[in-house]
């Protein structure tokens, strides 16, 4: 059941003409246009019919919903275990601002985790609150990730309470871009025990999906808050949780959930903040996708997440055991167990891979994957890259990635042996400029080897030619666009 998606679909199927706005809706402005085909190729007729500006009784009010949006938000609150859920079409950057406005009051003290997203850093100074940041820490020598120093955050919180100047609000970034998850049962439990009247914003941008798998759910903010409330410990605590749904569920970009566990007053404050901060032209396709994403996660989330965790194991296993992937090294999770005293854990749907022994930079590796293999990796940390095995990645995609990694390693090995010194038996030519670096019979001294290595790092194409015959690109060309 997806009431908002169904209501929008019913409207999209009608032959409606709007005298309000959005000329492109239902292809109205495109009927006799030469540009229509490109619109259709990019967006499709279905999307153009569903992008509507109806409000109030015709669909629902975004700011004071009473119809299908309200029903969809209630179903989402039930599925995630919140008291209230808001749908936003302005991303979690907006959801974080709304949550902070609802939780804080001018003059109060806020303790924020330094590793929070920019949206929180930008919002806090405008709220009239006194902010202290708990520092970040590095994981260890073999791992380039950074995250909040939770021990220090809890100390700062306890010191402020002991001094009689407690923090009213605490802000945590609990599921990071790099796959670090906070141990929320321990952290929220400690906050409630030290000073129970606390409001907490937990930014779980990357972790919406975790609520739908029994093993991943145990560390989530909503599950933890319910448990604390049930035990009586967290009864006075108010918690807002933000989920960038488009990062881990089948929601469209900018789809975000803001969940609340707390009083009716908190709910009303959040509604008022939403009214002030959200665009007055919400995207109904994005909002409907939040409804569908919840419906799918409820029905299929556990199976899909199980597949993601299994695929992450496959990647780690192949890298460990396949000689053709020996230049890659898995940094985490699993073998890189974070010290439990840091109060963090690894997200098992992420795999961090070191490229130290591959001999090309992480950005060159990412560019080769994108240009030559149609594979995209967003994150690089030093000489490592990070894979997110989200629910849209299947076995076939993982096999394609592994095959591409084998190809890149093979090319690197062949290139290294051709350039490994001694007397050259072929032309070695970088383009541009096309003047041979070495011709057959010349000695490939260290200076020339260094030059070749540096040109390759810059992404230049380097060819070899053995007498007559076609040139062989030693390094698969990866033309720079800049
Ligand atoms: C931890 C965190 N919070 C919030 C956001 C903002 O989310 P959105 O891009 O949906 O505005 C991000 C985006 O990457 C994030 O990583």
Consecutive H or E run containing 180: strand 180-182
Q: 405 and 437: one domain?
A: no
| Residue 177, ligand 1, Cβ within 6 A | yes
pTM: 0.89
Q: 277 and 324: one domain?
A: no
Minimum-distance ligand 1 atom for the alpha carbon of 175: 1
**Dist CA 418 CA 440 (whole Å):** 12
Which residue, of 415, 431, 457, is where some domain finishes?
A: 415
CATH assignment at residue 341: 3.90.1150.10
Q: 322 and 271: one domain?
A: no
| Residue 204, ligand 1, Cβ within 6 A | no
257-315 pLDDT, tens digit each: 999 999 999 999 999 999 999 999 999 999 999 999 999 999 999 999 999 999 999 99
Q: 180 and 163: one domain?
A: yes
In a domain, 75, yes or no: yes
| Residue 412, ligand 1, Cβ within 6 A | no
C-alpha closest to that of 236 among 227, 248, 246, 228: 228
CA of 305 to the centre of ligand 1 (A): 21
Structure tokens, 87: 């749908």
CA of 117 to the centre of ligand 1 (A): 6
Count how many domains the chain has. 3
**Dist CA 351 CA 373 (whole Å):** 19
DSSP label at 124? G
| Residue 119, ligand 1, Cβ within 6 A | yes
Structure tokens, 30: 């495109």
Minimum-distance ligand 1 atom for the alpha carbon of 246: 10
Which residues fall within 8 angstroms of residue 172, CB to CB, at 6 or more apart? Answer: 113, 116, 148, 153, 182, 184, 187, 200, 201, 202, 203
CATH assignment at residue 449: 3.90.105.10
Say what the pLDDT of residue 476 is. Answer: 45
CA atoms within 13 Å, Cβ hemisphere of 269: 18
Q: 180 and 319: one domain?
A: no
Residues in a beta bridge with 191: none
| Residue 308, ligand 1, Cβ within 6 A | no
Q: 216 and 86: one domain?
A: yes
Say what the pLDDT of residue 477 is. Answer: 44
Residues in a beta bridge with 432: none
Structure tokens, 401: 């990635």
Q: What are the angstrom distances between the C-alpha of 473 and each of 11, 440, 469?
A: 55, 17, 13
Say what the pLDDT of residue 259 is. Answer: 98
Quote the distance between the C-alpha of residue 160 and its chain's center: 33
* Ligand 1 pocket test target in 87, 88, 91, 145 with most atoms within 8 Å of CB: 91
CATH assignment at residue 135: 3.40.640.10
| Residue 117, ligand 1, Cβ within 6 A | yes
| Residue 205, ligand 1, Cβ within 6 A | yes
Residues in a beta bridge with 172: 202
CA of 96 to the centre of ligand 1 (A): 9
Structure tokens, 206: 């990357």
CA of 210 to the centre of ligand 1 (A): 16
| Residue 115, ligand 1, Cβ within 6 A | no
Q: Which residue's CA is the closest to the ligand 1 atom numbered 16?
A: 177
Q: 133 and 245: one domain?
A: yes
In a domain, 288, yes or no: no
Q: 372 and 350: one domain?
A: yes
CA of 98 to the centre of ligand 1 (A): 14
Dihedral through CA 192, CA 198, CA 203, CA 204, nearest 10?
30
Quote the distance between the C-alpha of residue 304 and its chain's center: 17
Q: 277 and 159: one domain?
A: yes
| Residue 247, ligand 1, Cβ within 6 A | no
Q: Please, what's the b/e burial string for 71-100 (b: 16 or more CB within 10 A of its CB; e: otherwise)? A: bbbebbbebbbbbbbbbbbbbbbbbbbbbb
| Residue 224, ligand 1, Cβ within 6 A | no
CA of 176 to the centre of ligand 1 (A): 9
Are residues 271 and 66 in contact, defined by beta-carbon separation less than 8 angstroms? no
Q: 236 and 381: one domain?
A: no
In a domain, 221, yes or no: yes
Which residues fall within 8 angstroms of residue 310, CB to CB, at 6 or more apart? Answer: none
Q: 358 and 235: one domain?
A: no
CA of 93 to the centre of ligand 1 (A): 6
CA of 222 to the centre of ligand 1 (A): 18
In a domain, 425, yes or no: yes
With vertex at residue 350, the alpha carbon angle to CA 349 and CA 356, rounded to the nearest 5 degrees, is 155
Count Cβ atoms below 10 Å from residue 345 Cβ, excluding itself: 19
Q: 344 and 399: one domain?
A: yes
Count Cβ atoms below 10 Å from residue 166 Cβ, excluding itself: 18
Each residue's pLDDT expressed in tens, for the chain with a length of 482 residues: 999 999 999 999 999 999 999 999 999 999 999 999 999 999 999 999 999 999 999 999 999 999 999 999 999 999 999 999 999 999 999 999 999 999 999 999 999 999 999 999 999 999 999 999 999 998 877 777 889 999 999 999 999 999 999 999 999 999 988 888 999 999 999 999 999 999 999 999 999 999 999 999 999 999 999 999 999 988 899 999 999 999 999 999 999 999 999 999 999 999 999 999 999 999 999 999 999 999 999 999 999 999 999 999 999 999 999 999 999 999 866 555 466 778 888 899 999 999 999 988 999 999 999 999 999 999 988 889 999 999 999 999 999 999 999 999 998 887 777 677 678 878 888 877 788 888 888 888 888 887 887 777 676 777 877 765 555 555 444 443 33
In a domain, 55, yes or no: no
Which residue, of 371, 398, 415, is where some domain finishes?
A: 415
**Dist CA 480 CA 482 (whole Å):** 6
Q: Which domain range does residue 356 map to? A: 301-415
CA of 346 to the centre of ligand 1 (A): 19
In a domain, 23, yes or no: no
**Cis link prior to 140 (omega < 30° from 0)?**
no
* Ligand 1 pocket test target in 112, 121, 174, 205 with most atoms within 8 Å of CB: 205
In a domain, 292, yes or no: no
In a domain, 46, yes or no: no
């Amino acid at each position: 059941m997806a009431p908002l998606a169904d209501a929008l679909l019913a409207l999209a199927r009608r032959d409606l003409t709007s005298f309000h706005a959005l000329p492109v809706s239902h292809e109205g402005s495109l009927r006799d246009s030469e540009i229509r085909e490109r619109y259709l190729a990019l967006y499709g007729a279905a999307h153009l019919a569903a992008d509507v500006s109806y409000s109030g009784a015709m669909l629902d009010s975004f700011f004071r919903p009473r119809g299908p949006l309200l029903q969809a938000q209630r179903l989402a609150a039930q599925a995630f275990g919140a008291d209230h859920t808001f749908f936003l079409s302005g991303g979690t950057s907006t959801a974080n601002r709304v949550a902070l406005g609802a939780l804080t009051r001018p003059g109060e003290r806020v303790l924020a985790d330094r590793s929070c997203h920019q949206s929180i850093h930008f919002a806090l100074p405008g709220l009239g609150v006194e902010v202290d940041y708990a520092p970040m820490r590095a994981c260890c020598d073999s791992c380039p990730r950074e995250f909040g120093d939770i021990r220090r955050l809890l100390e700062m919180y306890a010191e402020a309470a002991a001094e009689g100047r407690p923090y009213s609000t605490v802000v945590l970034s609990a599921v990071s871009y790099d796959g670090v998850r906070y141990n929320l049962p321990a952290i929220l439990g400690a906050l409630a025990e030290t000073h129970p009247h606390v409001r907490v914003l937990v930014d779980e941008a990357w972790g919406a999906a975790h609520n739908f798998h029994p093993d991943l759910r145990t560390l989530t903010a909503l599950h933890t808050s319910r448990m604390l409330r049930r035990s009586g410990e967290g009864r006075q605590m108010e918690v807002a949780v933000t989920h960038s749904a488009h990062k881990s569920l089948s929601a469209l970009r900018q789809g975000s959930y803001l969940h609340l566990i707390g009083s009716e007053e908190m709910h009303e404050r959040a509604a008022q903040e939403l009214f002030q901060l959200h665009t007055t032209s919400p995207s109904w396709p994005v909002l409907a996708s939040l409804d569908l994403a919840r419906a799918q996660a409820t029905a299929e989330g556990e199976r899909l997440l199980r597949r993601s965790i299994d695929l992450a194991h496959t990647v780690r296993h192949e890298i460990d055991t396949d000689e053709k992937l020996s230049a890659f090294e898995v940094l985490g999770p699993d073998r890189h167990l974070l010290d439990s005293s840091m109060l963090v854990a690894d997200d098992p749907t992420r795999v961090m891979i070191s490229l130290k022994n591959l001999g090309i930079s992480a950005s060159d590796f990412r560019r080769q994957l994108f240009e030559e293999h149609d594979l995209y990796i967003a994150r690089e940390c030093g000489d490592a890259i990070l894979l997110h095995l989200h629910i849209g990645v299947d076995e076939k995609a993982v096999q394609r990635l592994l095959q591409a990694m084998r190809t890149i390693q093979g090319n690197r090995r062949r290139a290294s042996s051709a350039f490994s010194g001694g007397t050259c038996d072929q032309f070695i030519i970088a383009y541009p400029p096309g003047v041979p670096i070495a011709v057959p019979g010349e000695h490939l001294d260290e200076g020339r080897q260094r030059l070749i290595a540096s040109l390759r790092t810059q992404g230049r194409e380097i060819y070899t030619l053995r007498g007559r015959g076609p040139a062989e690109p030693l390094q698969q060309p990866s033309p720079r666009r800049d």
